[in-house]
Amino acid sequence: MQQQAIVVNEPADANGLELGQVPVPAPGPGQLLVKVAATGVNFIETYQRSGVYKVDYPFTPGSEFSGVVEQIGDGVQNYKIGDRVATASGTAGYAQYALVEAKRAGKVPNAVDLRIAAALPLQGMTAHYLVHSSYMVHSGDVVLTYAGAGGVGLILTQLLKLKGATVITTASTQQKKDLAKAAGADYVVDYDQVAATVEQVTGGAGVHAVYDGIGKDTFETSLAALRRRGTLVLFGGASGQVPDFNLQRLNAGGSLSVTRPKLDDFLATEEEMHWRFGDIFGWVAAGDIDVRIGAQFELAEAAKAHAALESRATTGKVILVP
C-alpha cells in the first residue's frame, strides 16, 4: 500500500521538503505501525533537512507524532490495535503512517486530544529533563531562559513556576511577550534588556541557571548572567551553533558549569521515558500545564511550517496534519 509522505532528497532549504508517494512500512519485531493523527514539527528537523545534522537521503523527517495503532509487530505485549499513542522517538513521521518501537511510545490519556498529544512529547519531555535532570531547579532559584513564547519556552516556564523559580525570559514581539507572561514568566524582556534585568532582579549576583536554546546569539549573555557556580544549560542553536570555547573561561567566570544536553540521553531507558511521558501527560490531563498549538499545517505544507519556524514567526507548537 502507498501513502503520502514528505521526502527530502538532499540538504536543502525549506523548499526541499517535497510531498511524495512511498510504501506504508511494515512493523518489525517490537514495533507499532501508527496511523498518524498529527506530527510535531521541531527545530531538529530543520537541522537534518539543511545538513547541519547528518542523515541519509532520501529522508523523511519526523520523530514526534500521535495517532492510533494500526498494526503490531511480533513480540509486542502492551499494545493493541486501536490504542491512542504518542512518541518523541518514532521515525519518518511526516507521513500518513509511521513506525515506532513499542517501548519508545506511550499511551495517550483519554482526556488529551490527539493533536495536543503530537505537540507535547518532544518539547514537554525536553522541558521536563531540563528542569529535573540537566540542572535541577530548586524553589527560590532565579532562572534565565529565552524565547518564552516558543514551543519549549511556554512549557519550560510553566514547569519552572511549578518548581517555585523566578523566571526571566525574552520574546521578540508584544504578542509573544503576552503569551510568555500568561505562561507565568515573572520578567519578559527584549533580548538587549537581559543583562540589565538580571542585574536588577538578582541585585548583581547573577542567576542560578540559564536554559539557552538560542545558542550563537545569546551564549555570551548567558555566561555573563550566571552567578558564582551557576550552570548554563545550552540545549539548542535556533540562531546557530556556538563556536569553539575556551574552558578556562569557566574558571575565570566563577567556577561555572556548562552542559550541552540532548533529549535522547534523558530518555535512556524505558523507565526514564515513561517517567517523563507519564508526568507531562498527567499534568496536561489534570490541567496543571497548558499546551499551545500556535500553527497547524497540512502535510503537503511542511515547507511552510519549516519556513515559519526558522523565521521566528511561530508561537508554541507547530503541527502537521496528514
Q: Tell me which residues touch ligand NDP (CB under 6 A).
A: 42-44, 122-123, 126, 147, 149-153, 171-172, 176, 213-214, 217, 235-239, 261-263, 310, 312, 314
SS3 of residue 66 by DSSP? strand
If the CB atoms of residues 99 and 171 are measured against ligand NDP, the closer one turns out to be: 171
- Is 30 within 8 Å of 103 (Cβ atoms)? yes
Provide the residue type at 59 as one letter.
F
| Whole-angstrom distance, CA of residue 143 vs CA of residue 165 | 7
DSSP string, 278-307: HHHHHHHHTTSS---EEEEEEGGGHHHHHH
Angle at 288 between CA 37 and CA 206, to 5 degrees: 110
Q: Which one, 54 or 80, has the nearer CB to ligand NDP?
A: 54
Strands 84-87 and 97-101: unpaired
As measured in angstroms, the least distance from the Cβ of 278 to ligand NDP is 19
Least distance (Å) between residue 44 CB and ligand NDP: 6
CB of 122: closest distance to ligand NDP in angstroms? Answer: 6
Q: Which strands form 207-212's sheet, in the order they lie side by side?
A: 187-189, 166-170, 142-145, 207-212, 226-234, 257-259
Work out the number of other CB atoms within 10 angstroms of the CB of residue 211. Answer: 30
Contact between residue 227 and residue 205 where contact means Cβ atoms under 8 Å apart: yes
Grid cell at residue 208: 542560578
**Bridge pairing between strands 65-72 and 257-259:** unpaired
In 10 A of CB 246, how many CB atoms? Answer: 8
- Considering the complex, what minimum distance in angstroms separates the CB of residue 168 from ligand NDP? 14
